[in-house]
Amino acid sequence: MTNYTNALFIGKFYHYLEHVSSTNDYLLNVIKSQKVPEGTVIMAGHQTAGKGQRGNTWLDQANQNIAMSIYLKPHFLPLTRQFYLSMTIALSISQCIADLLEMQVFIKWPNDILVKDQKICGILIENMTGGKYLQESIIGIGLNVNQTTFPNSLKRASSLKLLTNKDFELLQVAQKLWVRLEQNYLLLRDGKYREIKEKYLNHLYLMNQYHIFYNSKGPLQGKIIGVDAWGHLVIEKTDGKQATFDVKEIAFWKE
113 and 121 Cβ atoms separated by less than 8 Å: yes
pLDDT beyond 70 at 50: no
Q: Which structural domain range is residue 70 located in?
A: 14-202
Residue (of 181, 216, 153, 157) closest to 70 by Cα position:
181
181 part of a folded domain: yes
Q: What is the pLDDT of residues 86-115, one digit of tens each?
A: 999 999 999 999 999 999 999 999 999 999
Residues 225 and 172 grouped into a single domain: no
Phi, psi (degrees; rounded to nearest 5) at 33 = -105, -15
Residue 251: partners with Cβ closer than 8 Å, 6 or more residues away: 213, 214, 215
Q: What is the pLDDT of residues 51-99, one digit of tens each?
A: 554 444 455 688 999 999 999 999 999 999 999 999 999 999 999 999 9
Residues 149 and 232 grouped into a single domain: no
Residues 113 and 238 grouped into a single domain: no
Residues 111 and 235 grouped into a single domain: no
Residues 125 and 160 grouped into a single domain: yes
Residue 242 host element (H or E): strand 242-245
The last residue of one of the domains, among 178, 202, 226, is 202
Q: What is the pLDDT of residues 206-216, one digit of tens each?
A: 999 999 999 99
Residue 36: partners with Cβ closer than 8 Å, 6 or more residues away: 13, 27, 30, 71
Q: What is the pLDDT of residues 29-44, one digit of tens each?
A: 999 999 999 999 999 9
Question: With DSSP H G I counted as helix, E B as strand and the rest as coil, what are the percentages for the chain, rounded to 5?
Answer: 30, 35, 35
Residues 229 and 110 grouped into a single domain: no
| Pairing mode of beta strands 218-227, 50-51 | unpaired
Q: What is the pLDDT of residues 134-162, one digit of tens each?
A: 999 999 999 999 999 998 878 899 999 99
